[in-house]
Amino acid sequence: HAVVHHKFEVRRTSHTRLCTTKSMLTVNGQFPGPTIYARRGELVVVDVINRADANITIHWHGVKMPRYPWTDGVDAVTQCPITPGKSFRQRVLLSDEEGTLFWHAHIDWARATVYGAIVILPPKTHTYPFPKPHAQLPILLGEWWNADVQQVYEDFIAGGASAQLSDAFLMNGQPGDQYPCSEQDALKLSVQPGKTYLIRMVNAMMNFIMYFKIKDHNLTVVGTDGAYTKPLNTDHIAIAPGQTIDFLLEANQPPGRYYMAARVYAGPVGYNYIPTTGIMDYVGNYTRPRPSSPVLPSFPEIDDGARSTHFSNKLRSLADDNYPIKVPMNITHNMFVTLSINTWPCPTNSCVFGYMLRASMNNVTMSLPETQNILEAYYKGIRGVFTPNFPAMTPIIFDFTEGYRRGNVAPAQSGTAVYMLDYNSEVEMVLQGTDYGVGDGVDHPMHLHGHSFYVVGSGYGNFDPNTDPPNFNLIDPPLGNMVAVPKNGWSAIRFKANNPGVWFMHCHYERHHSWGMKMAFIVRDGEGPNEKMLPPPPDMPLCEPPHTASTI
C-alpha cells in the first residue's frame, strides 16, 4: 500500500468567535482540524500526540478498519484514552471507501472541536463516476459554544438538558454574518462562471440534522458516506450529524454574490434557528452589478421531518458494473431494535424537568466501562467488563398518539451488553423509533462502526414484519454508515459481519449518545488466515489503574 503519514498534535489553543475568546482542544492548532487526503486502498498512518491536559481518542468515522479495531479510536470500547503526554500511532487502512468521511475525537464531547475531513480520491488508475470537477472543497458543519465544552458536557449529563444548546452553527469553523459580532467570520468561496465544483459536505455537528442550500443554485448529489450514489438533482440537502454528502455545484447563474446557508430542521423549543452562512462569489469579468447584501435562501418549515426523510429516501447506490452492490440476501440474524428516550429519577434537585433523561436500545441504556475497554477485555478474556447478551426483541406495536409517548417505553436497565456475531453473519436490523412529538423526540441518526450497511427500507409509524419487507429495495439501496431513523418510524438496514472485532453502534446525536443510546457488536474471528483480527499494536494506550488479578 502507498502510505500517507500525518502527525496530529492535540493541544489547547485559543480561538475567537462571536467576540468570545476561549482555549479549546484542537489538532495542530487548526479548527476545524487538518484534512486528510488519500486514495482508495492507501494506508494512512497518523501519529496522535497528546500535548493537552485532557484525555483524547481519535476515531476515523466511516473507515471500516479491516480486522484492525485497535485504532478505531473509541474511548472505553476499543481503547483506553491517550493520556496527557502520551502518543498513539493509528493505522487507518482505506479499503473500499471512496468519497468523503471524517475523523473526530470519540471521548466525552471533545469532538465538538476536534474534527476534520477525510477525502478519499479514486485510485490513480481510476476516475470519478462523473465529469471531473474544476475544483473541490470540503465544507464541515460544526457548532460553537462560548463555554468550555467539557463543562457543557458535565452539566448536561448531570441533568441540565439546556446545556446542549450551542451559541452558533459553523461552516468550516466560521459562523457567518447572521450572528452577533460575526460579520467578518464567514466561509468564502470563489467560483468561475461555467465551472463545476465538487463540494464534500460533512455534518460534524453535535446535535442537529441540517438543511443546506445555495441561493438560486441546484445541486447534484453524487455520493454519501464514502460511497457513490446515482446523481440526484435537488435544491436542498438534508444532512444528519455523522453523515457526509458529496455534491456537484455548477456556477451557472448570473455572476454575482450568493449565500450558502445551513439551518436546523428540528430542535428543542426555543432553540437557535439562525442559519450559518457562507458567501459564494463569482469571479471573472462581468458587468452585472453586485447586490450589496445577498438574499438568504428560503428553508422548509421547522420540524418538517417528512422533508428530511424525503431527501434521504431519494438517495440510491450507483450500482453499476464498476460499482456493483452486494446486498446481503441470506439473512442469518433478524434484529428488531427500539430506540427510546427514557426518564430516570433525578439524583439531585437540579434536573431541568424534575427527572433525568436517558436513552436506550432495546431498553438497555449502555454504560461504558470506566477503566477498561471492551476490545481488550474480549481479546484477553478479561471478565466482568461486558456481557454478551444484548437482548433480542420481536416487533411491538407502539401507540404514536399524542400523550402516549412515554407509555411506549419499558423502564430501561443500565448495562454493557454486546451482541455476538459469527464471522460472515448476514444481519438485517430494523431500528424502530418509539417517540411521538417534538422536543427530545427528534430523529435518531444511527451510526455503525467497522461496516457499511444498505438502507433497504424505512417508514413512519410501526414496522410491520408482514407487509414492509416485501417492499424493501434490494436493487440499489444507498450504502453508508449512517441512517436517520424517524422518531416515530423505522428504518431497516442490512450488513455482512465480515470484519472481526468490536464495533460500536450509536446515535450520532451527541446528547442521545451520552444518554446511553448505544450498543456494540463483537464479530468473532473466521476460520481462514485472513478472517481473524490482527494483533494489537505495541503502543496501545494503557488502561489505568492497571488490571489486578482479581478482575481477571
Contacts with ligand C2O by CB under 6 A lie at: 59, 61, 74, 104, 106, 242, 447, 449, 504, 506, 508
Contact segment (CB under 5 A) with Cu ion among 23-31, 90-98, 269-277, 510-518 equals 510-518
125-154 residues in contact with Cu ion (CB under 5 A) are: none
Using CB distances below 5 to 8 A depending on partner kind, what does residue 242 bind out of Cu ion, ligand C2O, none?
A: ligand C2O
Closer to ligand C2O by Cβ: residue 70 or 259: 70
Instruction: Tell the smallest beta-carbon distance from residue 504 to Cu ion (Å).
Output: 14
Using CB distances below 5 to 8 A depending on partner kind, what does residue 507 bind out of Cu ion, ligand C2O, none?
A: Cu ion
Instruction: Tell the smallest beta-carbon distance from residue 312 to Cu ion (Å).
Output: 15
Contact between 532 and 500 under an 8 Å Cβ cutoff? The reply is yes
Q: Residue length, the chain?
A: 552
Using CB distances below 5 to 8 A depending on partner kind, what does residue 512 bind out of Cu ion, ligand C2O, none?
A: Cu ion
Using CB distances below 5 to 8 A depending on partner kind, what does residue 61 bind out of Cu ion, ligand C2O, none?
A: ligand C2O
Site string for Cu ion, 435-474 (x = CB under 5 A): ---------x------------------------------
Closer to Cu ion by Cβ: residue 50 or 365: 365
Cell triple for 301: 418549515
Of 279, 126, 134, which is closest to residue 198 (Cα–Cα)? 134
Closer to Cu ion by Cβ: residue 68 or 509: 509
Instruction: Tell the smallest beta-carbon distance from residue 447 to ligand C2O (Å).
Output: 5
Instruction: Tell the smallest beta-carbon distance from residue 111 to ligand C2O (Å).
Output: 7
Determine which helix (DSSP H) or strand (DSSP E) holds 305, and give its type and residue range.
Answer: helix 305-313
Residue 307 DSSP SS3: helix
For the chain, counts of helices (H) and of strands (E): 4, 32
> CA angle, corner 485, sides to 484 and 486, nearest 5?
110
Instruction: Tell the smallest beta-carbon distance from residue 77 to Cu ion (Å).
Output: 18
Closer to ligand C2O by Cβ: residue 44 or 409: 44
Q: Which of 502, 512, 521, 543 is the binder for Cu ion (CB under 5 A)?
A: 512
Residue nearest to ligand C2O (CB): 61
CA distance 341 to 164: 16
Contact between 235 and 219 under an 8 Å Cβ cutoff? The reply is yes
Closer to ligand C2O by Cβ: residue 74 or 368: 74
Using CB distances below 5 to 8 A depending on partner kind, what does residue 447 bind out of ligand C2O, Cu ion, none?
A: ligand C2O
Using CB distances below 5 to 8 A depending on partner kind, what does residue 64 bind out of Cu ion, ligand C2O, none?
A: none
Instruction: Tell the smallest beta-carbon distance from residue 507 to Cu ion (Å).
Output: 3
Using CB distances below 5 to 8 A depending on partner kind, what does residue 509 bind out of ligand C2O, Cu ion, none?
A: Cu ion
Closer to Cu ion by Cβ: residue 504 or 509: 509
- Please state, in angstroms and as integers, the Cα–Cα distance from residue 396 to each residue in 380, 408, 434, 459, 461, following that order: 38, 10, 10, 15, 11
The count of residues interacting with Cu ion (CB under 5 A) is 4
Of 4, 109, 89, 107, which is closest to residue 49 (Cα–Cα)? 89
Using CB distances below 5 to 8 A depending on partner kind, what does residue 200 bind out of ligand C2O, Cu ion, none?
A: none
Closer to Cu ion by Cβ: residue 88 or 515: 515
CA distance 417 to 411: 16
CA distance 90 to 377: 20
Residue type, 340: S
Closer to Cu ion by Cβ: residue 120 or 507: 507
Instruction: Tell the smallest beta-carbon distance from residue 33 to ligand C2O (Å).
Output: 14
Using CB distances below 5 to 8 A depending on partner kind, what does residue 506 bind out of Cu ion, ligand C2O, none?
A: ligand C2O
Q: Is the peptide bond before 545 cis (omega within 30 degrees of 0)?
A: yes
Of 430, 209, 224, which is closest to residue 307 (Cα–Cα)? 209
Instruction: Tell the smallest beta-carbon distance from residue 466 to ligand C2O (Å).
Output: 33
Instruction: Tell the smallest beta-carbon distance from residue 430 to ligand C2O (Å).
Output: 21
Give backbone dihedrals phi and psi of 551, rounded to 5 degrees, phi first: -90, -10
Cell triple for 51: 500535548
Using CB distances below 5 to 8 A depending on partner kind, what does residue 104 bind out of Cu ion, ligand C2O, none?
A: ligand C2O
Contact between 432 and 462 under an 8 Å Cβ cutoff? The reply is yes
Instruction: Tell the smallest beta-carbon distance from residue 512 to Cu ion (Å).
Output: 3
Using CB distances below 5 to 8 A depending on partner kind, what does residue 67 bind out of ligand C2O, Cu ion, none?
A: none
Instruction: Tell the smallest beta-carbon distance from residue 324 to Cu ion (Å).
Output: 32
CA distance 303 to 205: 18
Closer to Cu ion by Cβ: residue 174 or 338: 338
Cell triple for 255: 455572476
CA distance 278 to 141: 11
Closer to ligand C2O by Cβ: residue 487 or 513: 513
Three-state SS for 476-502 is CCCEECEEEECCCEEEEEEEEECCCEE
CA distance 407 to 29: 48
Instruction: Tell the smallest beta-carbon distance from residue 70 to ligand C2O (Å).
Output: 16
CA distance 539 to 537: 6
Instruction: Tell the smallest beta-carbon distance from residue 306 to ligand C2O (Å).
Output: 26
Q: Which of 208, 378, 509, 515 is the binder for Cu ion (CB under 5 A)?
A: 509
488-507 residues in contact with Cu ion (CB under 5 A) are: 507
Q: Give the gyration radius of the chain's Cα atoms.
A: 23
Q: What is the dihedral of CA 105, 153, 176, 201, to 10 degrees?
A: 40
Closer to ligand C2O by Cβ: residue 242 or 477: 242
Give backbone dihedrals phi and psi of 227, rounded to 5 degrees, phi first: -145, 150
Of 356, 355, 353, 342, which is closest to residue 406 (Cα–Cα)? 342
Closer to ligand C2O by Cβ: residue 39 or 61: 61
Contact between 212 and 260 under an 8 Å Cβ cutoff? The reply is yes
| Contact set with Cu ion (CB under 5 A) | 444, 507, 509, 512
